[in-house]
Amino acid sequence: MKIILKANVENVGVAGDVVTVKDGYARNFLIPKGLATEATRSNIKMAEELKKIEERKKTAAVDKARRLAEKLKNISLTTSVAAGEDDKIFGSVTSQTVADLLTEKGYDVDKRHIILNEPIKALGVYDIPIKLHSDVTAEVKLWVVKE
């Protein structure tokens, strides 16, 4: 039986795929659970339209992330922290600190998108990568200076 998957099903396919499965599997499991519909002409056309809409949404999201990355590459952030001898700072600069600095500049970036392998614990200039989309990464320059 030919069916159109509404959701990702392990060992069968991903949402939107038209696949052939055994009749009993489709009628007794996939269709009643809402994981698939029967592949009629109208359902296939509707699935193709939904795929086109999803593709447009993905393209728009990537374009938006690229525009934000272009704006962010010219941004320089400065944070002043209390520091002792040998330029070791008290506490650390974390991704939350960077997110707060970006919010002050008018950019809404989630702290989970800011990639810091470990918190910054010394004065200096750092290039901080920000993953805006799976395909788009921006870099922001961060100056950690003494108060």
What pLDDT, in 10s, does the model give residues 54-103?
Answer: 899 999 999 999 999 999 988 899 999 998 887 788 889 999 999 999 99
Q: Does domain 69-146 have CATH number 3.90.930.60?
A: no
B/e letters for 61-75, b = 16+ CB within 10 Å, e = fewer, are eeeebeebbeebeeb
What pLDDT, in 10s, does the model give residues 1-48?
Answer: 999 999 999 999 988 889 999 999 999 999 999 999 999 999 999 888
Domain coordinates of the chain in residue numbers? 2-65, 69-146
At the second CATH level, the architecture of 2-65 is 3-Layer(aba) Sandwich (3.40)
**Residue 14 · residue 54 · CB < 8 Å:** no
For 87, other C-beta atoms within 10 Å of its C-beta total: 12
Residue 30, sorted as left (phi over 0), alpha (psi -120 to 50) or beta, turns out to be alpha
Q: Taking the CA atoms of the chain, what radius of gyration do you get in angstroms? A: 24
Strand partners for 76:
141
Domains 2-65 and 69-146 share a fold: no
